[in-house]
């Protein structure tokens, strides 16, 4: 009786619940799984570092290219950034426009289906995008490159000579743009649809047109979501491997010329192309470039998550 009473009193205080052995096991298991995930992330960094130490400490002339790891990774970082920036510049306005179309322009009945169609773009494996870029997009871009060389060659991006195959940096960037489009539009869609209904209705009631309503009530609200979404897209574009490896015709070097057939490679594509035939120090060098890629994407993703989460803290919708 007394024990039951104390039991009851204990139950009445929520901070100290009764923990049966089963309960403790289960709590331990699930907490362990959470900690394991954090350990894996730390392990990714640790093992990449430990395997790339050979390349970092090796004499410069032993590294492919003969000028050390940093000179080896430099042009690759450049190529990675160029491809990702092209993708971002193309995909962000498109993604935001698509998100607006689905949330505020398309008829309500078909909007969900249209959103599903865009999400399908995200489901297609990257190797298939590479196939498509090589077989369909690259040939389709050839006339444009020829035209750009003739008419726009005063812009450094279009200096030419135009590639005859279309396997250029611009094509690779466009393929990446299509691949990150669903990410940007999905996150933008989410924040746009959360814009407070009262603000929107107030704008419309004051006689605003649909665009004015979006400009005044939706876009300011969704701004950080759009920024965060495009940075997540950037993170994906930086790390995308096979599509670039298949589409891009690589010759190394640093150039801003986007339409010629000699292009800098990207880190990820370079690993995919070189790794199967590498051994010893070559493998270590490639793992080092992978580590650089990991650090870059980690930084971009953390910044993106920070921006998105900050919005969540302040938004009235949650």
Partner 1 sequence: MTTTAPTRPEAPEPEAPAVRTRRGLPRFGGTGLFVAGLVVAGLLTALSGWSWGLFAVYGIVLGTLVTYVGSRVVEGPRKATDRLVTCLVSSAFAIAMVPLVSLVYTVVSNGITRLDGTFFTNSMVGVVGEGGGAYHAIMGTLIITALAALISVPIGLLAAIYLVEYGRGKLKKALTFFVDVMTGIPSIVAGLFAYAFFVIFFGPGVRFGLGGAVALSVLMIPVVVRSSEEVLKLVPNELREASYALGVPKWRTITKVVIPTAIAGLGTSVTLAIARVIGETAPLLVIVGITAATNFDPFDGRMATLPVYAYYQLTQPGVPPQFGIDRAWTAALVLIIIVMALNVVARLISRFFAPKTGR
Q: Which region holds residue 166: left if phi is over 0, alpha if psi is between -120 and 50, else beta?
A: left
Token couple for 232:
């997540």
Minimum distance from residue 77 beta carbon to partner 1 (Å): 14
Token couple for 298:
């980690």
CB 249 within 8 A of CB 263: yes
Under DSSP, the state recorded for 13 is S
Q: Which of 235, 250, 263, 307 binds partner 1 (CB under 8 A)?
A: 235
User: Does residue 238 interact with partner 1 by CB under 8 A?
Assistant: yes
Q: Which region among 132-140, 149-157, 164-172, 257-265 touches partner 1 (by CB under 8 A)?
A: 132-140
Under DSSP, the state recorded for 241 is -
Please report how the helices 21-57 and 281-314 are oriented relative to each other, as an axis angle in degrees rounded to 10: 130
Token couple for 9:
């009193």
Nearer to partner 1, 10 or 156 (CB): 10
Distance CA 129, CA 245 (A): 11
C-alpha distance from residue 88 to each of 92, 128, 290 (Å) = 6, 20, 22
User: Does residue 209 interact with partner 1 by CB under 8 A?
Assistant: yes
**Contact track, partner 1, 267-286, x by CB under 8 A:** -x--xx--xx--xx--x--x
- 260, 265, 268, 269: CA torsion to nearest 10: 60
Q: Which of 4, 5, 9, 22 binds partner 1 (CB under 8 A)?
A: 22
CB 116 within 8 A of CB 232: no
Q: Which region among 17-25, 70-78, 163-171, 197-205 touches partner 1 (by CB under 8 A)?
A: 17-25
Backbone angles phi, psi at 250, to 5 degrees: -105, 140
Nearer to partner 1, 93 or 156 (CB): 93
Q: Which of 167, 189, 200, 236 binds partner 1 (CB under 8 A)?
A: 236
Binding positions for partner 1, 82-101, rule CB under 8 A: 93-94, 97-98, 100-101
Nearer to partner 1, 64 or 283 (CB): 283
User: Does residue 298 interact with partner 1 by CB under 8 A?
Assistant: yes
Q: Which of 58, 85, 216, 242 binds partner 1 (CB under 8 A)?
A: 242
Minimum distance from residue 71 beta carbon to partner 1 (Å): 21
User: Does residue 147 interact with partner 1 by CB under 8 A?
Assistant: no
Q: Which of 73, 88, 159, 178 binds partner 1 (CB under 8 A)?
A: 178
């Amino acid at each position: 009786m007394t024990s039951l009473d104390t039991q009851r009193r204990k139950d009445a205080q929520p901070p100290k619940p009764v923990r049966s052995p089963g309960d403790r096991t289960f709590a331990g298991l699930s907490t362990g799984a959470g900690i394991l995930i954090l350990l894996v992330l730390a392990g990714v960094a640790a093992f990449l570092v430990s395997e790339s130490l050979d390349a970092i400490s090796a004499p410069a002339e032993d590294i492919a290219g003969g000028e050390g790891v940093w000179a080896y990774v430099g042009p690759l970082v450049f190529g990675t950034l160029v491809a990702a920036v092209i993708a971002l510049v193309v995909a962000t306005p498109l993604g935001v426009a698509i998100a607006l179309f689905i949330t505020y322009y398309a008829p309500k009945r078909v909007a969900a289906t249209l959103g599903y169609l865009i999400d399908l773009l995200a489901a297609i494996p990257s190797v298939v995008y590479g196939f498509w870029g090589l077989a369909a997009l690259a040939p389709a871009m050839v006339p444009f490159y020829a035209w750009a060389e003739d008419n726009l060659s005063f812009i450094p991006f279009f200096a030419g000579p135009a590639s005859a195959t279309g396997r250029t940096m611009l094509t690779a960037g466009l393929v990446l743009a299509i691949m990150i489009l669903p990410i940007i539009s999905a996150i933008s869609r989410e924040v746009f649809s959360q814009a407070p209904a009262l603000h929107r209705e107030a704008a419309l009631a004051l006689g605003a047109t649909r665009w004015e309503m979006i400009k005044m009530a939706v876009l300011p609200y969704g701004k950080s979501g759009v920024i965060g979404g495009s940075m997540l897209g950037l993170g994906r574009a930086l790390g995308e491997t096979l599509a670039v490896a298949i589409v891009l015709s690589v010759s190394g070097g640093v150039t801003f010329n986007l339409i010629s057939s000699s292009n800098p490679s990207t880190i990820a594509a370079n690993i995919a192309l070189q790794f199967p035939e590498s051994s010893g120090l070559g493998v270590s060098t490639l793992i080092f470039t992978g580590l650089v890629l990991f650090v870059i994407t980690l930084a971009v993703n953390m910044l993106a998550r920070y921006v998105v989460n900050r919005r969540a803290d302040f938004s009235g919708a949650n």
